[in-house]
Every structure is written in C-alpha cells, then in structure tokens.
Structure 1
Amino acid sequence: MNEPAANTGTLRVDQSGRDRDDDEIDLMELGRALWRGKWIILLATLFAIMLGGYYAFGVADKQYKSSAQLTLEMRTKQVVDIESVVSGVSTEQAALNTEIEIILSRRVLGNLVDELNLIDDPEFNDSLKKPTLIDSAKAVISDLISTSDTEQSMAAQKSPRNRTISAVRKALSASVQRDSYVFTISATTGSSEKSARIVNTLSDIYIDEQIAVKFEATEQAVAWLSSRVTELEGELREKENTLKAATAETDLISPEALDGLNLQAKDLRDRLQEMRADVARTEAEVERFRGLLSSKNRADAVDVTGDPTLQRLWRAIQEGDLEAEALFDQRLSTLLERARAEQDRLNSQIAALSNSYEELQLRIERQSTDLARIQQMQREVATTRTLYETFLTRLKETSVQRGLQQADSRVLSDAIPGEQVAPRPAMILALSMILGMMIGSGFVLARAFLHNVFRTAEDLEAATGIPVFGQIPQMPIKARGDLISYLQDKPTSAASEAIRNLRTSTILSDIDEPPKVIMSTSSIPEEGKTTVAIALAQNFAGLGKKVLLIEGDIRRRTFSNYFNDQPKGGVVTALSGETPLNEVVFHDERLGIDVLMGQKSRVNAADLFSSDRFKEFMSRAREAYDFVIIDTPPVLVVPDARVIGQHVDAILFAVAWDRTQKNQVVAALREFDAVKLRISGIVLAQIDPKGMRRYGYGGKYGSYANYGQGYYDAG
C-alpha cells in the first residue's frame, strides 16, 4: 500500500522557491526561447524588409534638401542702450535661438508664402491635391466631431493660407552651429530647385525684416525721446522756480550761519550748567546759615563761615563784651540775607538764559528744516537737469541714425539646388530589419513566457518537484477503440517504447518493494490517464505477468469504448463478494490481461471505495495477480482518486502536453498532499512530435526526439 510520503512537502518547497525567482530573468531561457522561434523571427524580419523595400522604392516620394548659412554681425551699441532701440542683436545662445524662432515665425513665413505664391503649390496646399480615401475619411470624421462653437475658429485655422504656412513650416528647419554665430536654414521639398529658391527667399525676407524692424524702432525712439525731452524741460523749469521761491521765503543765510547758531546754543547750554551748579552751592550756604542761627552755637558759626567780623566779635564776646553778642547775631543774619540775595540773582539769570536757549533752539530747528527742504529741491533740480541733458543728447544721436540702419545678419552662403535626402533605402531597409527582428522576437517571447502549460519534462519537474517517469507521444489513432490495435500492431513504435520506459521507471521507483498496485490519474479529463493505464497493463502482460486492469472511474465508464464482449458484472459485483473474482473479470486476448469493468452503482463512488469491502477486494486482487492497474477519475473533479490512492503502491499522475494548465496541476497535487499521499511519478502524455519540433524541442527531449527516429517504427 501507498504510505504517506516523506517528500509531500516537495511541492510546497519548490513553489516557494519559484515565488522567490519570479522577479529574476533567466538569460539562458531567453536565448533558448529566441532560438526555438528563430524561423518566426526570420519570417518577420524578411516581411519587414520587404515592406521597407516596397516603401523605399515604390511608395515614398523623393525629397531634396537645400541649405543657406547666415551669421550675426558683432557691433557695439549706438543709441541709448542694448534693450532700447536699434542696437545690434546679442550674440548669446538665447539670442541666437530667438533669431531662429523669428526666421520660422508665421509672420515671416507668411511673407514667404506670398512672395513665392506657394498657396498655388499642391505640395504645400493640400486642397489642390486629389483627395485620397484616407483624406476623405479624415474629413468625414472631423465634420462629425466638430461642434457649432468651434466652427468659426476651425474655419480660420483651415484657411488655405494658414494651411500653406503650416506646411511650409514643416518643410523648414534651422539650427545654430556650435561655438559660432552662424546658423543654417534648410528646406526639404520634392524639387531641388524649389528647395533652394525657398531658402534664399526666406533669407532675404528675414534680413529685410530686420532692417524694417530697426527703422520702425528708430522712428519710435525719436518720437518717444522728443516727447520725453519736452516733458523733462518743463519739469526742470518748474522745479527751478520752486527752488527760487523757497529760497526767498526763508531767513536762512547759509549752512555756515546755521553752524554758528549751533555753537551759540552750545555756549548757552554750558553757562546754564555752571549757573545751576552755583545755585546749588548758594542753596547749601543758606541752609547752613539757617542752621547756625537756630542752634545759637557761635563757636561753630565762626568755624563754618570763617568770616573775619564774626571772629572779631567772637573774641569780644569771650572778653565779656555784652554788645558784641547782639552784633554777632546781627552779622550772622546779614550773611544769611546776602546768601539769599545771591540765590535769587542766580535764579533770575538762569531763567533768562533758559528762555534765550529755547528761542535759539527753535530758530535752529526751523532753519534746519528749511535747509533740508532747499537741499532736496536742489538735488531734484540737479537730477532732472542731468536726465534732460542725457535724453537731449540721445535724441540728437538717434536722429542722426535715421536712414543708416543695417541688418544684424548677413548671408554667408546662398542655397544651391538640393541633394536627395529621402528616401534612404539603406537606412529604411536596416530599420525594417531591426523592427522585424524586434517584432518577431517580441512575439516569440510573448508566446513562450505567457503560456501556462507544460512542454518539457524539465519544466514539469521544476514546477512540481516530482520526477517525470515517462514522456508518452501522441498516438496516431482516430478513436479510442483503435488504441489496443495500435499497441498490438506497433510494438516498436515511439509510443510503445515510451510505455516501456514508464514501466521501467515505475518498477525501479522502489527497488526493495516494487509496486504491485498502480493507480493512473490526472487533474482533469482527457489528459491520457486511461491510455497510460491500458498501455502499461499491456506492457506488464508482455513480461509474462498476470495483470488485472480495473476501471476505477465508475461514473463515466469509458472502458466500453476500448473493450467488447463485456460481462454483466463489474466493480460493484466484485465488491459484493457474492460472485468469485474470476467470474466477474474477463480476459482480453489482444492485451493478454484481465479487465474489471466499471459498474453503475446507487451508492456514491467515493463511499464505495472507502468501504471495508473495497479494502478486502484489493487484498484478494494482490494475491491473485502480479500487477493491478487502476484507472481513476480526475482529482479536481471527484475525490475518488484520493480514496483509492490509500490502497495502492504507486500513483502515476498524467499531464497533457501543452494543454493542462500549471495551476490545475499544482491544485491537483495539493489535493494529494492534503491526504498525505505521495505521487510516485508524473507522466507527460499526448506529446505532439511536430509541435515539439515547432517549439524547438524536437532534437532534445524524450522518445520523440529527432535522434530517436531511427530506432522506432513510423507512426
């Protein structure tokens, strides 16, 4: 019996490994895919070259290109400044690019169209051409999508002159030569002489336009400067009169006189500070005399005042002169009155000086304001006079420039009849070849890497982690009933040899206990599992073994398409045990095997195969036969295969070549993994040898390889 496998996690491990490699690019696989599709790439390349050659030699119109060279003249500015009026053009790169845009502007090109009457040239005026089918379709679509709100603007854009200007613009090009002041104008048309004529005329129009613009700018400058000079002259006179009136109204003599007043104010401020100090000293003496009178201390009064009279009277008092005391007090009072008088005098002087100082400050402030105002007026007058003189000088210089303008550009070389520049057959063919190779390679890679099926045993083993026991080519039969005849008639065919390889791989999968009960199943129907089961049974019988082939798919019962002379009983009868096994099976002489047909049952098939009776039946079959081959239903359709798998020794899982989806195979293997069943090996069935060669695998893999053709019978 089949035991839970140690490698049931192989699928999960390989799947996670593939997830990690999803973002990696296998360059070898890319190369192999491209090599397998080499004929597709070659055909795409040849087809693209043919289309390119047809376009280059049969469809494309010849185009001729003529060029003229112009240069910007270096000159210094002559009028007000470089931005003003008529100075030379800046030779910086931005200015050169600006000149290019001017040359290709619609205004200049409009003059060109009018000068050469290009509106009557069918090459530039599409309305003169006979409309093609594509042009008619475009016109109809344009009329359908246009609205009433845009009809007027569209009508203006569709005017013949505007369309001609746009067409001429597409035929022209201009470029600046690096590290120089030279730029090239080119025209590409269907005529070499027309290209030269357009370029030369455009150069002349551009130079004439420069002169006209400069002359117009000069006239505008003269008019503007004249107006400005008149304005400045009136403004200057007005400011001078205002200055005179302001000078007459003020009593300011000069800035030097104002400085003298500031010196006087400083002297008064110093005198005030000195007198305030004297007042403070006098106030101190008055307070001291008051204290002495109040204290009646004559000795201290003599020491403090130091007055000689008080000293003399003090000596008299000490000698006993009574009148001296009255005289002493009278003298001290006199000194107090003198100090008070001095204090009053000083305060009066301070008041007078303060008033004088304030008046002087007001006078200084008033004259300073007048001085500042007059000086501002003087500066404004000087500024206006300078502007007036400057603009008057520029007006004279600009007036002299009238009629002396020159273009900032000149023609270095005129255009000559152009050379053919299109079509370029070599380049077109080379690009066609590259494009064809790219399209072919893209198609091959898309077909190779967007497919979700298996085409090689290597891919199948890499995706599942399970070995591939056999690779069975598609058998050239029209109906299922022809299978057994084919196996009999073609014992040395590639398919028969592939079955023998499958038989060998199955037996050697477990050398110690070779499997006796083998189950064949698949993910979905029509993958070749029944063919594998029948062919494998026939191959085991060829070894002289006793083989029982059981139809485990009792729901569809397809064995009836392969075998005739079927008995009435089948799997259900055999499981009942009422009839001996040898009476239920029938022997097929063509294959040399016993066959137990499927039988319709009222009991669910999964429940039937889960019963103990099926387990006992399998035990009897093991004892009676050398090999038991069971054909079971697809795993993703019903659970029967997983139930039967519990009683078998080996499980063969069939995968249809280039048809079974990878996700279907992975899902089916997960179903087995969920019930702890091990897939012994995978069979890549229904391989189309021609398809393998078409995909580039024909000389590389399996019994259908090119190098094996000499060993097998045809078909």
Structure 2
Amino acid sequence: MNTDSKNLSKPASEESNDEIDLMALMLALLRGWKTIVLFALLGLAIGVLYSRYVNPTFRSDALIQIDDKSSGISALGGDISELVGSEDSKAQAEAELIRSRMIIEPVINSLHLRIHLADPEIGVMDRIVHDRINTPIHTPEGVMLKTLNGNALVSQFNVSQGYLNQPFTLVRSKTGFTLSNGFDDFKGQLNQPNQFKGVDGQIQITVADLPLNSHPISLTKQSLQVTTSNINSTLSVAEKGNQTGIIELSMTGNNQQQTSLVLKEIIQSYVRQNQSRGSEETTKTLKFMETQIPALKKKLEDSEAIFNEFRIKYGTIDISKEAELLLTENSQIDTQLSELKLKKADLTTYYTEEHPLVVQINEQLAVLNNRKKNIDNTIAGLPEIQREFLQLSQDTEINREIYLTLLKNYQQLQIAKAGQIGFARIIDLPIDTFKAIAPKKLQIIILAMLLGAMLGTMLVLLKSLLRNVVKDPERLEAKTGVPVLATVPRSPLLTRLRKNKKSPNRLLAHVDNNSLSYEAIKSLRTNLMFGMPKVGKVGERVKVILITGESPGVGKSFISSNLSEVFSQLNKKVLIMDADMRLGELHSLFNMSQDNGLGEYLSQDVTLNTVIHPTTMDNIDFMPRGQYPKNPASLLSGDKFEQMMIALNEHYDYIVIDSPPILAASDAIIMSQYADKVLMVTRYDKSIEGQVAYAIKQMSKANIQVDGIILNDVQQGLMSKYSYHYSYAYGNNS
C-alpha cells in the first residue's frame, strides 16, 4: 500500500461543489414517494375533515331597475313636470344607499337580527360527524334555534350599552329559565316579559321556549354597528353591466330560507324609502297649494262682489277697442305675474334668493311690472268711470284665472301622487335554490391533497439537500476520489431471516449461495487477489485486509465474514479477526463466544493459540474481540500487536481484520499500517456522503490511503438509474 499522501487523488467534489444534479433530485423524489404519498393522504384527510367541518353556504340573488326619473308626474303634462321638477338617479349611488343603515336598520329591527343564538354543546367532532349544524332562524316573531333537546325561541332581548356584544347563557329551569353572564344570574318566566337590573344596566327579555335537560343556549345582543357590518360582509350590491341602470343584489348565508328572507326585506325597505323620497316634492307642493287655495278663493269672491256692485250702480259701460286691447294685455301680464309669483313661492321653499332660478324669475317680474306700469299710465287717460270699470273687471278676471289654474294643478298633483311609484322597480325577488355554493368539497379535497403532496415533495427535497445519502457509486467516487470496488446487493432471503430475532445469524454460503449478493462478494475477492502486492507488509506469506466503515451499522462485519468465507474456498488459510474490542458482534455470525479473544491477548499474559478458535468451516479460524479492555487504542499501538501480526504470518495466507468505525474510534487508523488493503464499507441509502468523505479525509491526514469502497445493501428497483451496478446471476437461480 502506498502511504504517500502527495499521490492521493484530489476529490472531484472540491471542483464542483455547487453543481446541482437535476437527475439526482428527480430520483430523490422517486425514492421519497412514500413520504409524498403519506403527506398527500394526510392532506386528503384534512381536506375531507375541513369540508365536513365547514357549514354549507347558500346564495340568494335579486335584481332592481333604476329609472332616470319618475314617470308619474311627467305623464300628466309638461306644466306639472316643470312645476315639481325632476331628479336623476345613478345606479352606483343607489347601490351605496342600499348598504346604508337607513335601509338595513329597519330590516335588523323587524327580523331581530341583533339577537344571536348559538349551541355551545356542539363541538368539533359533532360538526364533522353531522356535516352541518343548525343556525338561528330570524323571523318577525323572534329568533329560533334547533337543538337535540328541543328548540330555543327568544322573542325579545334588549340590553343596556354595557351588555352589548357580551355572551349570556340561557338554561331552562323548573320554574322558568336562568340567564347568566358569568357574574350575575337572573331568573325569569317563560312566555312573559322579564326585566332585570344588572351591574351594567337594564335587561329586557322574553323567552318563549328552551331545550330540555338543562341544555344551555348562548345568547348575545350585538351592537347595531356589528350587525350592520356582518350583513354588509355577506351582501353584494353592484350595477350589472355598464350604464344599464340594473342593480344586482346577492347575499350569502348558512341557511337558504333565512338568506332569502333577509335579502327580500332589504329590497322592500329600499323600495319603501325610494317611494317616500320620490313623493316628497309632490307632498310639499300640495301642502303649499292647500294653504293658497282658500285665500285665492276669498280674494276672487271679494273682487266679484265689488265688480257686481259697480255694475249695478253705473250700469253697462261701452268700452272702446283700445281699452279692450289694453285690458287684455294688462290681464295677460297680471296672469303671467301671478304664475311667476307662484313659481317663485314654490322655489323659495327649496332654494334661497341667490339661486339662479329665483334670480331669473325676479328679472322676468321686473320686465312685466314695467310694462304693466306703462299700460296703467295709458289707461289713466280714460274717463274715471271707465277706468274704474276696467280695474274692477281686470281684478275679477285675474283672480278667477289664478284660482282656476291653482285648483286645476292641485287636482292634477293629487292624481300624480296617487300613481307615483318611485324610480326603483323590482325585477326579480330572491328565490330559494337550496344549492350550496360553498364549500366546494371536491375542489377542497383535491387542493388539500395537492398541497399535502407539495409539502411532502418539499420535505423530500429538503431532506435530500441537507442529507445526501449514498446512492450513486459514480457520485461517491467523484466526491471521495476513492474507487468503488464492489456493490453488494441486498439478499432478500437473508433479510427475511434476520427479521426473526430468534434465528441465528448466518453467512451467505449457508442460506443464499446462488444470489447476486454472494456473487458480488466473489467479485470483490477477485478484485483484491489481483490488486494485492506480491510481498505483504507483515511478511511474504500473509496478506492483510482491513475492513472498516465511517459509522456503525454499515455492514462491515457482514462483508468481513463473507469475504473470509470466499477466500477459504481457494484452499487458503484465512484468519478473521474481530478487532472492534468495544462493540464487535462478529462472534455471533460464527455462533461462538466473544471470550478469549484479542482483548485478553493484548491486556493479559496469554498465548496466541488460546485466542484463536477454529470454525465449522474449513480453512477459517476466528479471533473474537474478547473482553472489553479499558484502553483499546493504546493496546493496539503497543509492540504486542505488531509481534502478533508477525507471528500470524507463518500460519495464514489471508488475515481479514474487522475494525471499529473511523469516525467512532482511532483503532482503524492504528491497524491500517499493518494492512495491505484498506477497505471502507458504506451502506446504500443510509450512509451520508459527507461523512464518508470526511472519514476518508481523516485517513488521508494520517497518511493512510483507502484502497476502495464497498457499497453494501444496494437495493434494485425501477426508481434507481444505478441498477446496472448489479451483477448478473449466472447458473442455477432456482
């Protein structure tokens, strides 16, 4: 063996530490399929449990159309429409109005939505087993909740500000019920209004029914803000399409009928508010007319009485054509003045004097008054009696015209108010479909299973990246710079025998001598025979093979014992030595005792013949580990071990030394100076590449060259691209 460390090959891993073997990652996923499937099944189970735990969610839809203006007044004529005016309504603004407290609060009060009932007896397992739980039903009569022991019905529950959003517990008693909040207990009667005074204020409650067997009911009076927010969180209001004027309302909940009822009440509340707002202008105008009609009627009657008295006194007066024209024009001007004053009076009920419409009417009044003044000056030239006749006749005519016009408009507005329906029209009311929109069980289950598989994949990849186990001989050679001399497959028959703890350990030659594993050991023997030096380190005859590993449990005892057996088939005298004086178990393979072995020879004054024992196999002797000494490494470093190796040269052709793991003890490094071949055993899919490389590096620091690696317990399968490292069984394979 060459111990010159300068000639050691440099590991290729130092040149390509950062390379990522994509094929290795893919194979790592394939090898970790059990973990991936386990997490996928775990995700599947979680998905199924979650889909059963969550209550189903239902949806109700409705449609409302928003017109640009009300058609009730405009259908009666342009004059009335101009008098009352019109108001444009945008769908987006109305959508926000529907979500306001002005619309929702009447619904909350009518359906008692602020009262919340719950069954505290329902646990997680109950929700999973029963797939769904009962939810409270809100009606104008009260709030009802079904339980296994009966129904709970609360008709009224009002509390002071201090008790809002605080949970209470209702329990049926022999005489009625008990209401408690953890501090106070209030006792009341069923089907009767009850009033209590607590620390935080007054409590008013009417309970119609409660479950039997002291079944508790959780009761909470929510604040208006919380209830409104809860409703808006489940309510969707949006314009359908672009500039269509159609609002789509949808609401979700755990009970189909309850959801449809609440949405229907919200729509009706909005329509009532809309109608009230649409007839507000008409109502105000009618009230104004009702105050003006009696005064105008009285004024007309007075002017007619004065005019009749004048005619009786002076008889009929012939009025010239000019006077008639002036009178006609003056009458028209007075009519226009009266109409403008009426409009101004109506507008000033809504606007100030600075409003543009009011300013415009004032300007028109000024023009008409100037013209009237000019006509009055012209009429002043007429005779006094004719002028007075014209004045009385004009007053009577104007008062009659104003009165009749106002009376006509009043009647038309009454008709318009009776037929006014507002600018919102219900197209579709919500209906019960009883088709749950959530949870989508199939999607949840598939998604949970995929997430579980992804988590398992990440775990496998992370484990593969953090713990690179030995899989590929080529990769191992590249990482350590040491050739892999043999890959020993797992023996299925021997593996089954080892599962029986009462069954003794056996060699491959006895139980599976026609297997791939046995052929791999023979191939290793052939490799070592041609690689051995002609003259060994200890002497001309003996060839020493030291077998070690980077850590315990890699199978070095299995390799040592079976390698000794195949060497004995060559009619060579073989000694197998259990040099692991701490935890060696090689004696169990030969069904022998561990006493009288290497430990006694090095620590006591005994002869070599007493520690070497013949085995049941020809040409094989065995030296057990002996009793555990206090200082194994010191004993191996002494002269006695060297003298023993020289003495054994005269009796054996091969000595196979089973040494302790390199990373566990320094014994292997001490004994390697007597070995012609140093072999390191590593276990497939268990040993870590980094530990193997580090163990070889430790040997190199001591100027010990590892001559080869034996990859033990290799498992063949479709998921490994390295199955070509298997040997082929040639011969009887029965």
* TM-score (normalised: structure 2): 0.54
Find the partner of 2:427 among 377, 402, 413: 413
Answer whether contact 1:553 1:633 (CA < 8 A) is retained.
Answer: yes
- Match of 1:470? 487
Deviations 1:181-225 (A, max 9, x none): 5431113456767655544442342354456679999999xxxxx
Q: CA 1:455–1:664 in structure 2 vs 1: closer, same or farther (change >3 Å)?
A: closer
SS of the residue aligned with 1:429?
A: helix
Match of 2:513 in 1: 491
CA distance in 1, matches of 2:54, 2:352: 71
Alignment of 1:165-176 (within 5 A): 165=228, 168-176=231-239
Give 1:123 deviation, angstroms. Answer: 4.1
Match of 1:113 in 2: 108
* CA apart distance, 1:522: 1.9
Report 1:296-307 matches (<5 A): none
What one-letter code is carried by the residue in structure 2 that aligns with 1:183? Answer: I
Residues 257-302 of structure 1 show CA distances to partners (whole Å, capped at 9, x for unaligned) of: xxxxxxxxxxxxxxxxxxxxxxxxxxxxxxxxxxxxxxxxxxxxxx
Cα deviation for residue 439 of structure 1 reads: 1.0
Q: As a proportion of its length, which structure holds more helix? A: 1
Matched, 1:159 2:176: no
Aligned letter for 1:129?
Answer: L
Within 2, Cα distance between the matches of 1:489 and 1:574? 33
Distance 2:41 2:664 in 1: 48
Cα distance, 1:465 vs. partner?
Answer: 4.9
Match of 2:354 among 364, 374, 390: 390
Provide Cα deviations, 1:325-356, integer angstroms capped at 9, x if missing partner.
Answer: xxxxxxxxxxxxxxxxxxxxxxxxxxxxxxxx
Report which of the two has the higher share of strand: 2
Distance 1:647 1:667 in 2: 22
Change beyond 3 A, Cα 1:496–1:50: same
Post-superposition shift, 1:641? 0.9
- 1:625 paired residue among 652, 655, 673: 652
Structure 2 SS opposite 1:635: coil
* 1:454 pairs with 2:476: no
Change (3 A) 1:535 1:186: same
**CA distance in structure 1 between the aligned counterparts of 2:167 and 2:520, rounded to whole angstroms:** 66
Instruction: Work out whether residues 189 and 195 of structure 1, in 8 Å CA contact, stay in contact via their aligned partners in 2.
Output: yes
| Match of residue 525, structure 2, among 492, 495, 503 | 503
In structure 1, C-alpha distance between the alignment counterparts of 2:721 and 2:674, rounded to whole Å: 40
- What's the secondary structure of 1:17's corresponding residue? coil
Residue-by-residue CA offset, 1:359-398 (whole Å, 9 max, x unaligned): xxxxxxxxxxxxxxxxxxxxxxxxxxxx98524856999x
Task: Find out whether 1:179 has 2:242 as its counterpart.
Answer: yes
Alignment of 1:215-364 (within 5 A): none
Secondary structure in 2 matching 1:437:
helix
Q: CA, structure 1 residues 514+437, in 2 after alignment: closer, same or farther (shift >3 Å)?
A: farther
Q: Is the 8 A contact 2:239 2:246 kept in 1?
A: yes
SS of 2:16's partner is helix
Paired letter, 1:159: K
TM-score by length of 1: 0.56
Give the deviation of 1:60 after TM superposition. Answer: 5.7
Shift of 1:703: 8.4
Equivalent residue for 2:451?
438
Q: Does 1:205 align with 2:276?
A: no
- Map 1:625-644 onto structure 2 (within 5 A): 625-644=652-671
Segment of structure 1 superposing worse, 471-480 or 542-551 = 471-480
Aligned residues: 510
Structure 1 residues 549 and 408: alpha-carbon distance in aligned structure 2, compared to 1, 3 A threshold: farther
**Equivalent residue in structure 2 for 1:594, among 612, 616, 621:** 621
Judged with a 3 Å threshold, the aligned counterparts in structure 2 of structure 1 residues 518 and 604 are, in CA distance, closer, same or farther, namely same
Change (3 A) 1:623 1:431: same
Is it true that 1:128 corresponds to 2:148 in the alignment? no
Taking a change above 3 Å as real, the CA distance of residues 209 and 555 of structure 1, as seen in their structure-2 partners, is same
1:651-690: CA deviation from partner (whole Å, max 9, x where unpaired): 2222344544555444433322322323233334356x6x
Note the aligned Cα RMSD (angstroms): 5.6
- What residue ranges of structure 1 are gaps of 5+ in the alignment? 76-85, 221-386
Asked if structure 2 preserves the Cα contact closer than 8 Å seen for 1:650 and 1:680, the reply is yes
Verify the 8 A CA contact 1:557 1:599 in the aligned structure 2: no
Task: Give the Å deviation of 1:632.
Answer: 0.9
Aligned residue for 1:482, secondary structure, equals coil
3-state SS of 2:354 partner: helix
CA shift in 2, pair 1:683/1:71, >3 Å: farther
* Offset at residue 628 of structure 1 (A): 2.0
Q: 1:62 to 1:649 in 2, by over 3 A?
A: same
Q: Is 1:63 aligned with 2:58?
A: yes
Q: SS of the counterpart of 1:652?
A: strand
Distance 2:551 2:442 in 1: 50
What is the rounded CA distance, in whole Å, between the counterparts of 2:281 and 2:544 in structure 1? Answer: 107
Q: Does the 8 Å contact 2:682/2:709 carry over to 1?
A: yes
2:13 counterpart of 1:14: yes
* Letter of the structure 2 residue corresponding to residue 438 of structure 1: L
Larger Rg: 1
**Which amino acid in 2 is paired with 1:122?**
P
Q: For 2:504, which of 466, 482, 486 is the aligned residue?
A: 482
| Cα distance in 2 between the residues matched to 1:711 and 1:182 | 86
Work out the CA distance in 2 between the residues paired with 1:15 and 1:480: 47
Measure how far apart 1:534 and its partner are. Answer: 1.3
* 1: CA distance, partners of 2:568 / 2:168: 77
Question: Whole-Å Cα distance in 1 between the matches of residues 49 and 603 of structure 2?
Answer: 79
Give the deviation of 1:553 after TM superposition: 1.9
Q: Structure 1's 2 and 60: CA in aligned 2 closer, same or farther, altered over 3 A? A: same
Distance 1:631 1:686 in 2: 18
What does residue 529 of structure 1 align with?
556
Cα 1:558–1:2, aligned 2, differ >3 Å: closer, same or farther? farther
Aligned residue for 2:504, secondary structure, equals: helix
Q: Which amino acid aligns with 2:469?
A: F
* Change beyond 3 A, Cα 1:38–1:584: closer
Residue in 1 aligned with 2:569?
A: 542
Question: What is the letter of the counterpart of residue 3 of structure 1?
Answer: T
- Aligned identity (percent) is 22
Q: Does the 8 Å contact 2:594/2:625 carry over to 1?
A: no
Question: Take 1:439 and 1:539, find their aligned partners in 2: how far apart are those partners?
Answer: 49
**Partner Cα separation in structure 1 for residue 110 and residue 136 of structure 2:** 16
Change (3 A) 1:711 1:638: same
Say if 1:473 and 1:704, in contact at 8 Å, map to a contact too. Answer: no
Given that residues 472 and 683 in structure 1 are in contact (C-alpha distance below 8 angstroms), is that contact kept between their aligned partners in structure 2? no
Kindly indicate whether the alpha-carbon contact (under 8 Å) linking 1:481 and 1:563 is maintained by their aligned counterparts in 2: no
Judge conservation of contact 1:520–1:654 (CA < 8 Å) in 2.
yes
For the 8 Å contact 2:352–2:358, the answer to whether it is kept is no
The aligned counterpart of 2:291 is: none
Matched residue of 1:488: which SS? helix
Structure-1 separation of matches of 2:107 and 2:606: 109
Following the alignment from structure 2 to structure 1, what is the Cα–Cα distance between the partners of residues 529 and 183?
81
Change (3 A) 1:40 1:178: farther
- Aligned-partner SS, 2:655: strand
623-632 or 608-617: bigger deviation: 608-617
Change (3 A) 1:419 1:599: closer
Report the CA distance between 1:8 and its aligned residue. 4.9
Higher RCO, 1 vs 2 (CA within 8 Å, ≥6 residues apart): 1
- Letter of the aligned partner of 2:68 in structure 1? E
